[in-house]
Amino acid sequence: MDTQHCPLCGKSNQCSAAAGRDEPCWCFDAQIDPAALQRLTPEQRNQACLCSACAGALKATEPREGD
């Protein structure tokens, strides 16, 4: 699996770890929509980051709609 691309859409996932950068990935500070994770097959889970669009991600400090 290509760890630098989103397993759902194939676009760049901007993953710092996969790119070899010595910094935390953007997803460490994001709330990932549980529905996005449900779209992954068991083989895809914990293999590569989703992109922020597919993850439905918001920064942990941003309120979600309806909160």
Q: Where in the chain are the domains?
A: 1-58
Q: The pTM is what?
A: 0.75
SS3 36: helix
Whole-number pLDDT of residue 60: 47
| Interval 45-58: pLDDT, tens | 999 999 999 998 65
pLDDT at position 1: 81
CA dist 5 and 3 (Å) reads 6
- Rounded distance between C-alpha atoms, residue 50 and residue 32, angstroms: 9
Does the pLDDT value for residue 59 go beyond 80?
no
Cα–Cα distance for residue pair 59/39, rounded to 1 Å: 21
